[in-house]
Amino acid sequence: MPGGAGRAGALELGTSGTVFLDEVGELPRDLQSKLLRVLETNRVRRVGGTAEIEIDIRLLAANHRELKTLVEEGEFREDLYFRLAVVSAVVPPLRERRDDIPVLIEHFSRRLPPGMWKAPSSEAMARLVGYDWPGNVRELRNVVERSAYLSPDGVIDLVTTGRRVQSGSEAVDFDPTLTFREQKERAVELFEEAYLQWLLQRAEGNISRAAREADMDRKYLHKLLRRYGIDAKLFARR
């Protein structure tokens, strides 16, 4: 077998192309050392193999926290940081590039099954553009996908346009196209998502701490976060 035993990994498969490593700062220290070696030698070895394979890749790496900060905290190798930081770029949060929101909404919607796409109304789009998107592009993508699948007519409106009922000091939105049961399920989902985000913000992204504060099983908390597409890392203290 060319290249020795085992199957080709991502870096080998990416040769003559570009490999993107997201959240590179989350790599364990032992994998950081291995990645540094690959970048220095341009060679990889398959798991279980003995022969080294030469690769030629362009590597792009991203992280939601400053790698310099992680280096100072001893969580990321300084030599790997300088090897990666040949050209550095800072991507502003979505709230600072609101003109990208309509383009991103259309992009994510086009990836849905045929027939599930309809452009948001002007009112809905104004609300979307005005929202701060603390979860950035990931949150926007999740909202687009979730709204499309939950909408009874397949319309991606993203903003409730039904009757607004005042209850005490709070306002409640209702969608006249949904049954009582569907309205209740939607209200529970909105509560759970908002509560999870509030909980993680208090716990600074620490899932174990969040589970303790909520008196919730850690595995169940993980399950809920996956269900709502919430990334705990986005709430980590920077």
Given a cut of 70, is residue 34 above it in pLDDT? yes
Alpha helices in 14-63 (DSSP H): 29-41
- In the prediction, which pLDDT does 152 show? 52
What confidence score (pLDDT) does residue 6 get?
A: 67
> CB–CB of 9/47 below 8 Å?
yes
Dump pLDDT digits (tens) for 118-136: 777 777 788 788 888 877 8
Calpha distance 17→13 (Å, rounded): 9
Backbone dihedral angles phi then psi of residue 53, each to the nearest 5 degrees: -115, 130
| pLDDT tens-digit readout, 42-52 | 999 888 777 88
- pLDDT above 70 for 163: no
Average pLDDT value for residue range 197-226: 89
Question: For residues 70 and 89, what is the distance between their CA atoms, to the nearest angstrom?
Answer: 17
To the nearest 10°, report the CA torsion of 201, 206, 209, 213: 20
Bigger pLDDT: 145 vs 209: 209
CA end-to-end span of the chain? 47
Burial of 161-178, coded b for 16+ CB within 10 Å and e otherwise, reads: eeeeeeeeeeeeeebeeb
Give 92's DSSP letter: P
pLDDT attached to residue 238: 56
Burial 11-47 (b: 16+ CB within 10 A, else e): bbebeeeebebeebbebeeeebeebbebeeeeebbbe
Report whether pLDDT(156) > 80. Answer: no
At 1-12, the pLDDT tens digits run: 455 566 788 888
> CA-CA distances (angstroms) from residue 8 to 2, 3, 55, 215?
10, 8, 11, 44
Nearest partner of 118 among 154, 162, 161, judged by Cα:
154
Could you tell me the pTM of the whole model? 0.53
Nearest residue to 234 (alpha-carbon basis) of 190, 196, 204, 191: 204
**Domains in the chain with CATH codes:** 10-84 (3.40.50.300), 95-157 (1.10.8.60), 160-238 (1.10.10)
Cα 140 to Cα 103: distance, rounded to the nearest angstrom:
11
